[in-house]
Amino acid sequence: MYQFSRAIYRELAPMVARSPVHGEVRPRDQAHVLRCCEAAVERLVTDRHYFARPARSLFNDIRSYFPMGSQIQVFRVVSHYLDLAQEFAARQPRAGYDANGDPLVCRATTRKGTPCQRTPLPHNGYCPSHQHLAATEDTEAIAA
């Protein structure tokens, strides 16, 4: 997934706003844009079910580093590459591990508030004991 965050950054780096005082791009601004891109793609991979609008989230994090005239282009670049990353993540074989090699765990929490440690089923991310929660998600999505 590293390649997606770097591709976003490579296209956006030349557009980062220049300092009004010195007229050059500040390295810390470029570093912040890179960190935000990497964090968004990382969250997309590890927490995809709870990351509803990754493109909008990343754009809101980095938009202040770009001039007003290029913000539409910035949003298009971000949404294009994050759509590709979502498609790539969806095509990866699950087999009990996420894209980083960490074992998958159920998305539900126990009554004590700790995460369920059982292995989830591949089609919705819940273990057999918490399948009823997947049905409520579908109902909430239709209502919204």
**For residue 71, what pLDDT is reported?**
93
Q: Output the six-digit token pair for 99.
A: 């894209």
CA–CA distance, 66 with 29 (Å, rounded to integer): 10
137 has a pLDDT exceeding 90: no
Contact 49, 107 (CB under 8 A): yes
Candidates 127, 90, 121; CA nearest to 108 is 127
CA 4 to mean position of chain CA atoms: 11
**For residue 27, what pLDDT is reported?**
83
**For residue 19, what pLDDT is reported?**
66
30 has a pLDDT exceeding 80: yes
142 has a pLDDT exceeding 80: no
Confidence of residue 34 (pLDDT cuts 50, 70, 90): very high
**pTM of the complete model:** 0.66
Which residue type sits at 77?
Answer: V
DSSP-based three-state secondary structure for 109 = strand
Q: Output the six-digit token pair for 50.
A: 């709870």
Q: Helical H runs in the chain?
A: 2-12, 27-46, 54-62, 71-91, 131-143
CA–CA distance, 88 with 41 (Å, rounded to integer): 11
